[in-house]
């Protein structure tokens, strides 16, 4: 079995977040009301209605920049997680007996 290195953990997390980001972007484009309803359940009591009055258009440049930034952040977070996990794991759990 291939060992899950910190780099691979970071790459897997970045790819996962990128897929979810694109799925969310497509859902916003197709059904913005659904996305707003979902977000409203997450923010407990905040009124999100003002966000629907004149929303800015989604342009491809900002969407790609958002994808790049969130994926980069996820890669860093996943790599740090992988390094900490590897550091904290018992030697036998990582196949390093």
Paired tokens of 20: 């979810």
Total residues found in the chain within this entry: 97
Q: What does the pLDDT look like over 63-84, one tens digit per residue?
A: 999 999 999 999 999 999 999 9
Q: What is the pLDDT of residue 96?
A: 55
Listed residue (93, 18, 97) closest to 63, CA to CA: 18
Q: Whose CA is closest to 18, among 62, 75, 71, 74?
A: 71
Q: How far apart are CA 13 and CA 76, in angstroms?
A: 9
* Pure H helices in 31-90: 32-42, 60-88
- Report residue 47 CA to chain centroid gap: 24
0.85 surpassed by pTM: no
């Amino acid at each position: 079995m291939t060992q899950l290195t910190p780099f691979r953990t970071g790459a897997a997390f970045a790819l996962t977040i990128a897929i979810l980001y694109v799925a969310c972007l497509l859902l916003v484009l197709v059904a913005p009301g659904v996305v707003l309803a979902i977000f409203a359940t997450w923010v407990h009591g905040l009124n999100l209605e003002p966000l629907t009055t004149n929303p800015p258009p989604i342009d491809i440049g900002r969407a790609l920049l958002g994808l790049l930034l969130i994926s980069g952040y996820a890669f860093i977070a996943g790599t740090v997680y992988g390094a900490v996990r590897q550091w904290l794991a018992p030697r036998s759990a990582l196949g390093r007996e």
